[in-house]
Amino acid sequence: MNVFPDILPMSSWLPVVSPPFVIAGPCSAESEEQVLSTARELAKIPQVRVFRAGLWKPRTRPSSFEGVGKRGLQWLAKVKAETGLLTTVEVANPRHVEEALSHGIDILWIGARTVVNPFSIQEISEVLQGVDIAVMVKNPLNPDIKIWIGALERLNQAGIRKLIAVHRGFSFFAHTPYRNSPMWEIPIELKRLYPELPVLVDPSHICGETSLLFPVAQKALDLEMDGLMIEAHIRPEEALTDKEQQITPENLKMLISSLVIREEYGTIEFENKLEELRSEIDKLDEELIDILGRRMKIVEDIGKYKKENNITILQLKRWSQIIRDRVDTGVRIGLSREFLLKLLETLHEESIQRQTEVMNRNH
Ligand code: PEP
Ligand code: MN
């Protein structure tokens, strides 16, 4: 079933003049001077078509800077009048929507913390009923594609036909180099399910710092995503929010000009499939390492137990039985005998080493 029957292609309402399509601007609007001087520089970059700035900031703790609120809307109106850039702000409730609409904001965006709540999305959709405006929907913090789709669907059912999904990475328990793990398989799946839905990538919130922005932006383009949203600030070191991940307009310009746009078509299916398979491998490797860690922990416990009971470390009968058993099982599922023996040998060596350490501890 096509859940987005009447979504408009982005090219029909926001033609890309100079690819890639880029939305840029500070994480937060902080002052009129900061907003306007950032926008003036960004407007010189042909790929930047839309100026972003957060006015109502969702913060983890109440004492943090929570945004300038609606007075920033006038600054954005000036940006539009002076530079010709379109403007976009984050909205989290019907009041934000009404204020943004009354100040001529071109595109609304719904943030990762709001998307998770269907009540909020429903309320926002209700005030948007019958309004001709573009809405971008960021993915929720947790890696659940259904929540993302559900929010897009609610807005579409309220009559929003200019819809865009924005991939900004997901909270993930394991340690990764990213602030929010990209889990590319999720935006790829979204594209596979709804090829008509434009998907932008927000490298700033994926990376959380500036050194990884380029490879993530390049990857987004290689995966045929429809554009980028990147945080830029005239003086990043003074930013009141997301200081580490913002770049100057000048650095953004360099970043964009280093990006390679693939010309050849027909490879994207291959890339997507490869990416899917690779992320499966990543997950399995993580599990493998976790299992090995757990195995070694038990090996140590056995070592302690043997020590308390004065039993030797190496017990040949047990070891021969393990080899026979594991090789049989492995061969049955198509692994080679030689590989299995090498693997078991390595495991055994490390286990003996661990137990020896336990034995030698003098307590
Ligand atoms: C932002 O774009 O500044 C923002 C708060 O994003 P997210 O909702 O993705 O965290
Ligand atoms: Mn931000």
* pLDDT value of position 271: 79
Name the residue at shortest CA distance from atom 1 of ligand 1: 27
* pLDDT value for 67: 96
Q: What is the pLDDT of residue 263?
A: 64
Average pLDDT score over residue span 72-100: 98
Residues within 6 Å of ligand 1 by CB: 27, 54, 58, 111-113, 138, 168, 205
The answer to whether the beta carbons of residues 73 and 105 sit under 8 Å apart is yes
Q: List, in order, residues 6 or more apart from 109 with CB less than 8 Å away.
A: 52, 88, 89, 90, 91, 135, 136, 137, 138, 166
Distance from Cα 164 to the centre of ligand 1, integer Å? 15
Stated pTM of the model: 0.75
Q: What residue owns the CA closest to ligand 1's atom 5?
A: 111
Q: How far is CA 69 from CA 28, 144, 145, 178, 274, in A?
A: 10, 30, 30, 29, 44
Query: Which ligand ends up closest to the CA of 116?
Result: 1
Tokens representing 328 are 């049989």
Owner of token pair 């793990």: 181
- The pLDDT tens digits for 257-316 are 999 997 654 567 777 888 889 999 999 999 999 999 999 999 999 988 888 888 877 778
Mean pLDDT within 191-216: 96
Q: Report the residue among 202, 228, 244 best suited for mutation to probe ligand 1: largest number of ligand atoms under 8 A from its CB.
A: 202
For residue 1, what pLDDT band results from cuts at 50, 70 and 90? low
Q: Which domains does the chain have, with CATH numbers?
A: 10-258 (3.20.20.70), 268-360 (1.20.59.10)
Question: Are the beta carbons of 180 and 172 closer than 8 angstroms?
Answer: yes
